Structure 1
């Protein structure tokens, strides 16, 4: 499945029950759009942020049910965003799915963070099935 085919087929939706709010965070606009379309297609309500600062601001404005989060971003890394969210009682339990092309320099940090409850990891590149399955698994904690 190509990025173009995902975006072109964005009108096809299957609504999960209940409807969850997902914040998609990635500094690569095309990838952010692709993940958004994949999740919107099955009925999730999507908000996007293109950097860590915008992600934190978006969470403060409207708490999502789940966050997909890139690790390597220019302003605040995804790891730092996750740490800040985990240190706040209001956001500490939001499930986070790290969606990243893992850099060796952060692999140990990500591995340690991924041992915490509600933290998941999905390697780029990934299929729609892998993304949807990981998000659904992460959302099970809310049911």
Structure 2
């Protein structure tokens, strides 16, 4: 699988990169490496890349987010929306490589099921929040 597309936000090369993604595709699957910060300002880039995958028939999307250092609730909403769009088209989104912070944010937002391979950090531990952890993928 060749990596053939690089996108960034903001698009202006004179501006510092907030979010970047690199896309590789084979016949039906694609792998997207996502890094930086996924938030209200940068979520449109993810949506555009997912839309391009759907348009080209790459409906099984493997999203590698090990380089994603920040994700807020708008970023989580973008991930959930991406999964819904892919499922509506007959595909799916497989999210892997979340760091502890991003994994906790997904859990707090009730979106821990997005992770194909959760590390188990969704159950709590240091930094899990004032409730001392999560139960059933939702913050209490």
The TM tier, using the shorter chain, reads: 0.3 to 0.5
Higher-RCO chain (CA-CA 8 Å, sequence separation at least 6): 1
Structure showing the higher helix proportion among its residues: 1
What's the TM-score once normalised by structure 2's chain length? 0.40
Higher Cα radius of gyration: 2
What's the TM-score once normalised by structure 1's chain length? 0.40
